[in-house]
Structure 1
Amino acid sequence: MSNAPHYDIDVAKFWADPYPDLAKMRKDAPIAFVPQLGSTVFTRRDDIFSQEKRIDVFSSHQPAGLMNLLMGHNMMRKDGEAHMAERAAMFPSVSPRTVRDVWVRQFQAHADRILDELAPLGRADLCKAFALPLSAECLKDITGLTNMRFEDMDAWSQAMIDGIANYAGDREVEARCHAATAGIDAAIDDMVPVVTKHPNTSILSVLLAAGQPMPGIRANIKLAISGGQNEPRDAISGTIWALLTHPEQLALVREGKATWLDVFEEYARWIAPIGMSPRRVAKPWSYGGVDFEPEDRVFFMFGSANRDEACFDDPDRFDITRDTAKSIAFGAGPHYCAGAFASRAMVADVALPGIFARLKNMRLDPAGPVRIGGWAFRGLLNLPVTWDER
């Protein structure tokens, strides 16, 4: 175990709002062992930015980790050439060109259909009625699992996320994760002959065409689902909420003084949907006055890094005009999120301009308070709004 200073948290309070504790750690113990998490956490942006790239020390390869055991050995849990080979095989499906030439058009079609159904209602929880189905329908296309229901895509993603964070060993959580991975395997089995006969730009199709082994294909599709559903879902609902609660920021977009992409990048900094990335210490190492031992567990706290006072002025403020160049919402090293281009397009090119154009005078519904939670994955739990029916 590292000799980092200990910092105790109240787990429930940390889940509800981690930022006060993270600010204290950045100030007093930027590298700290948190007993309640069983991990040494990095909280300052520049420390994370430099050390995440030291894959010889802070390795993503975690053979005994819950992700490997429950979802299979995917590229997120590999380093070096093994990671890059699988990343390269997947790239044709999620490259900027494919996103621009293929996916944006399909994302737009899904958004238009969902908004057509929503517009006459005048009231909805946008987490469930817009962000969830849009993200899931888009991910069905990207993965190639168009035989799934969008409800299953979301539920199975959440079950896997819960499973890989199930450090307490809750058997019900583990059982739900196993049921989810079995459902995904069945969907893959159904679609393999379809995309083999009719190749497309989906992850399943391009990985099969690249000759990737089937266990790896299954594991990497599960990886894409586990992160590719919750992050854009939470970013869509979160950015809408941020603009509704900061009308002066929305006015900047409408006046042409900022872009929807500015909104997305600032929201991802302000409330990083993926707030943490785990690593395994691979060899003895000393950094920042802390000695690390092999097999120590480390958490790189992206959500803390993006509110580091040393890098961002008034970091707790949502400001779409700020320079977000130092944001590491998508990671900083070789494991930079492969789906970042698709996520940006889904939120900034499709979801935000579409919903603010279509739902006139959209506003928070005073009948139900907005709830938000999480620290490893953080997002809105509901977003009740009303708008003028036209």
Structure 2
Amino acid sequence: MPVETVKAAARGAGLDVLSWTRLYRRQVGMPLRDSIRSAIAPVYIRGRLLQERLEAGVSWYPLDPAFIANPYPKYRRLRERDPYHRSRLTGMLVVSRYEDVDAILRDHRQFLNGERDWNSENLVNSSIRRELTPSILSLDPPDHTRLRGLVNRAFTPREMAKMEDQVRETAHALLDEVGDDNEFDLMSNLATLLPMVVIAEMIGVPTDDRERFKTWSDRFARVLEPNLTEEEGRLVLETADEFERYFAPIIEERRREPTEDLVSRLALAEEEGQKLTTEETQVTLRLLLVAGNETTTNLIGNGLRALLQHPEQLQLLREQPELIPTAIEELLRYDPPVQLDGRYVAEDVEIGGKAVERGSRLALLIGGANRDPEQFSDPETLDVTRDEGVNISFGRGIHHCLGAPLARLEGRIAFEVLLERFDDIRFGTREPVYKPNIVLRGLREFDIRVRHRAGRSFAGAEADPTAAAG
């Protein structure tokens, strides 16, 4: 296969090679054997990355396993060498400085959210997004303003304060299930289940349906990732239909006979005579399902891993538990649950001295911005006493994460409960395993070894009088 043929195919695909193997199969490789296609794709990718490095002194390939395992060295090189990096592989302008990312997130007129696509129309996640009814996350004013105003009424500080006891009881109950085990997977026993149970109870999902609920959440979350497979895309659309069939009658019932659950609050929310339609309520529930699960799960997993890598910081929290709320902000900054956001340029603009045409796509490196030394002193160091700067882990401006207060609440309580129950926490036998994600950074498996605190009574657990006496 001539090199020029491959290059022409790439140009026709818009140089969006985050999923190059799939694009190559569609554009060029139909007559070729799978082995030849597989051989050409890496060669093309390496060539484009080499061109990036020669032009800018740095390259960006977010599907690189080394990048997924630890993106922060690459973020630092991008900030230092080319903070407005033209990606030859994705066609995006990659922005990594805090000041720039913050300004772009705040400017919803010049930088739009509604038409963003991580990749070209050829990629699965883009086509799936177009088939799904858009949520608040992907809308711009005035539609965003109306929906956000209605949904905000269900997430007031007063409503979040009511959740404290429920979240704490749930965390204790989940760790009760661990029993006397001295080693267990944090993700499957606490980090994944805590937000899932809490949001399920908020929405009013029966206990028997919660496994299905978690499956829905996992499938919907993959839509945010540019490496979504065709099979995953098919499951997403099937799940969307199943989700709508499940909640449509519930929404109508709550309108007639409201309860205290989130579905009722959304169904009855009203502002200036406007209410959410059934479809808008369903889409909002879908968004909350993902946001309510993924951010907290990743905060707990990423956060504890960071603390175990810095045991002096974990010990400081044991000695001064009042620092935990401050520590949550630092953990969000140090290894945020959401690593990237995207925007679509509304009109020709200049960013960092580079002309950016209308319709261009921006990759905003949240994880990189949160470690910008222009914003944070000694940013590569985890410091649970840090009180400078504001992390942008939950976004900025009108698209600031709706569920941020709930995620902070759940994260704080999770760490309070872990430190209350265990005198010692260390890495387990198995190495932590990350999900192969680019946007949502989080662990799939994370074994920890613990020493249970003796003689204490927790929610749902009896104290051991013998241990207490000893």
TM-score normalised by length of structure 1: 0.90
Identity of aligned residues (%): 23
| Residue in structure 1 matching 2:251, options 192, 217, 227 | 192
- After superposition, what is the alpha-carbon deviation per residue over 1:190-210, rounded to whole angstroms, capped at 9, x for unaligned? 532453354345442222113
Counterpart position of 2:110: 57
| Residue in structure 2 matching 1:205, options 264, 273, 278 | 264
Does the 8 Å contact 1:25/1:32 carry over to 2? yes
Query: Structure 1 regions of 5+ residues with no counterpart?
Result: none
- After superposition, what is the alpha-carbon deviation per residue over 1:125-163, rounded to whole angstroms, capped at 9, x for unaligned? 010111111110111123444466443333322222222
Q: How far off is 1:275 after superposition?
A: 1.0
Residues 257, 358 of structure 1: alpha-carbon distance in 2 compared, 3 angstrom cutoff: closer
Counterpart position of 2:216: 156
The separation in 2 between residues aligned to 1:216 and 1:67, in whole angstroms, is 18
The separation in 2 between residues aligned to 1:23 and 1:149, in whole angstroms, is 44
TM-score normalised by length of structure 2: 0.76
| Residue in structure 2 matching 1:100, options 152, 161, 173 | 161
SS in 2 for 1:381: strand
Counterpart position of 1:181: 240
Does the 8 Å contact 1:258/1:321 carry over to 2? no
The separation in 2 between residues aligned to 1:201 and 1:41, in whole angstroms, is 44
Verify: 1:21 aligned to 2:74, yes or no. Answer: yes
Amino acid at match of 1:240: L
Verify: 1:214 aligned to 2:289, yes or no. Answer: no
SS in 2 for 1:363: strand
Query: Structure 2 regions of 5+ residues with no counterpart?
Result: 1-13, 15-51, 118-125, 270-274, 455-470
SS in 2 for 1:334: helix
Verify: 1:9 aligned to 2:78, yes or no. Answer: no
Verify: 1:79 aligned to 2:132, yes or no. Answer: no
Residues 257, 62 of structure 1: alpha-carbon distance in 2 compared, 3 angstrom cutoff: same
Does the 8 Å contact 1:111/1:354 carry over to 2? yes
Moved more, 264-273 or 143-152: 143-152
- After superposition, what is the alpha-carbon deviation per residue over 1:326-359, rounded to whole angstroms, capped at 9, x for unaligned? 21111121111111111111111x2111122123
SS in 1 for 2:362: strand
| Residue in structure 1 matching 2:446, options 368, 377, 383 | 383
The separation in 2 between residues aligned to 1:67 and 1:201, in whole angstroms, is 33
SS in 2 for 1:385: strand
- After superposition, what is the alpha-carbon deviation per residue over 1:244-272, rounded to whole angstroms, capped at 9, x for unaligned? 33221122222227521122111100011
Counterpart position of 1:39: 92
Larger relative CO (CA 8 A, sep 6+): 1 or 2?
Answer: 1
Q: How far off is 1:35 after superposition?
A: 2.9
Taking only aligned residues, the RMSD between alpha carbons, in angstroms, comes to 2.4
Amino acid at match of 1:281: V
Verify: 1:114 aligned to 2:174, yes or no. Answer: yes
SS in 1 for 2:378: coil
Does the 8 Å contact 1:159/1:180 carry over to 2? yes
Does the 8 Å contact 1:62/1:68 carry over to 2? no
| Residue in structure 2 matching 1:89, options 150, 155, 173 | 150
Counterpart position of 1:357: 420
Does the 8 Å contact 2:93/2:363 carry over to 1? yes
Q: Which residues of 2 match residues 213-252 of structure 1 at below 5 A? A: 213-252=277-316
Does the 8 Å contact 2:295/2:337 carry over to 1? yes
The separation in 2 between residues aligned to 1:148 and 1:177, in whole angstroms, is 22
SS in 2 for 1:307: coil
Counterpart position of 2:394: 330
Amino acid at match of 1:261: P
The separation in 1 between residues aligned to 2:322 and 2:170, in whole angstroms, is 26
Q: How far off is 1:45 after superposition?
A: 0.3
The separation in 1 between residues aligned to 2:208 and 2:235, in whole angstroms, is 17
Does the 8 Å contact 1:144/1:205 carry over to 2? no
